[in-house]
Amino acid sequence: MHALANPNRFLKLGDRIQPWALGLCLICLAVGLPIALAFSPPDYQQGDTVRIMYIHVPAAWMSLFCYGVMAAGSASFLIWRQPVANMMARASAPVGAMFAGLCLLTGMLWGEPMWGTPWVWDARLTSMLVLFFLYLGYMALGDAFDRPEQGDKAGAILALVGSVNLPIIKFSVDWWNSLHQPSIFSMAGISLDSSMILPLFLMVGAFQTFYIVVVLMGVRTQVLTAKVRAARLMRGT
């Protein structure tokens, strides 16, 4: 039970953060979605299609962020045997997979009218698809063992190996010719008109706080599952 002491403290902190995160998420969504989908200006070139960006870009960023948490949590679990870190990693995977899937899907919906094709095998799209599969692989591998400890370890190693994909996704549009346009962030600043920055960052805020809410639920579920398992072992059933 000593190992669970730390998770309990973590969950206590989480209980205090969660309602605030949920409230902030709802506010960001309530304000951000109408601005993004209706009240923000259309693009000079793409018209109303540019509104897909307000879902696509935050989803893409969050899918990278979730993987970052997963990799950091896995490293901390492998090196320092931190159970909470591993739980954070395990809880981040489905959220990250959802964001990566959303990014791919909205990207296809955006690519069809603008590029003239929903999918091409350029470096950005391919590396993003690989990220999606890494999430699925991590979840499948983590649950593929009879002893959960083995699954945790195998998943953590996969998460760390897969983290080389993160810089590849980020810099794919700079290193290679690609159909996908470069990032709106560059040394020169942000290449987004000021009227479009607010809705984008409100959506980023909504996705980020949503992640916090869901990941805390995920960690709580794992702590409770571990407790149930420990109690069963003690009773010998």
Q: Which stretch binds other proteins (CB under 8 A): 7-15, 97-105, 117-125, 138-146?
A: 117-125
Provide the 3-class DSSP secondary structure of residue 189. Answer: strand
Which of 6, 8, 150, 181: binder of other proteins (CB under 8 A)?
Answer: 181
Nearest CA among 230, 235, 208 for reference residue 96: 208
From the number of C-beta atoms within 10 Å of its C-beta (0-12, 13-18, 19+), residue 217 rates as middle
Q: How far is the CB of 191 from other proteins (least distance, A)?
A: 5
How far apart (Å, rounded) are the C-alpha atoms in residues 214 and 22? 9
Cβ distance to other proteins smaller for residue 11 or 57: 57
Q: Give buried/exposed letters for 162-193 (b at 16+ CB in 10 A, else e).
A: bbebbebbeebbeeeebbbeeeeeeeeeeeee
Q: Which stretch binds other proteins (CB under 8 A): 2-10, 130-138, 139-147, 159-167?
A: 159-167
Q: How far is the CB of 197 from other proteins (least distance, A)?
A: 10
Provide the 3-class DSSP secondary structure of residue 184. Answer: coil
Q: Which stretch binds other proteins (CB under 8 A): 13-21, 40-48, 92-100, 221-229?
A: 40-48
Looking only at residues 46 through 65 of this chain, which bind other proteins when binding is defined by CB under 8 A? 46, 50, 53
Contact between 37 and other proteins (CB under 8 A)? no
Q: Which stretch binds other proteins (CB under 8 A): 18-26, 88-96, 178-186, 209-217?
A: 178-186
Cβ distance to other proteins smaller for residue 23 or 42: 42
Nearest CA among 103, 104, 90 for reference residue 135: 90
Q: Which amino acid is at 199?
A: P
Cβ distance to other proteins smaller for residue 159 or 214: 159
Q: Which stretch binds other proteins (CB under 8 A): 6-14, 74-82, 91-99, 208-216?
A: 74-82
Nearest CA among 101, 123, 102 for reference residue 168: 123
How far apart (Å, rounded) are the C-alpha atoms in residues 119 and 125? 8
Count the Cβ atoms, other than its own, within 10 Å of residue 71. 21
**Site residues for other proteins per CB under 8 A:** 41-46, 50, 53, 75, 78-80, 113-117, 120-123, 160-161, 163-164, 168, 175-179, 181-184, 186, 191-193, 195-196
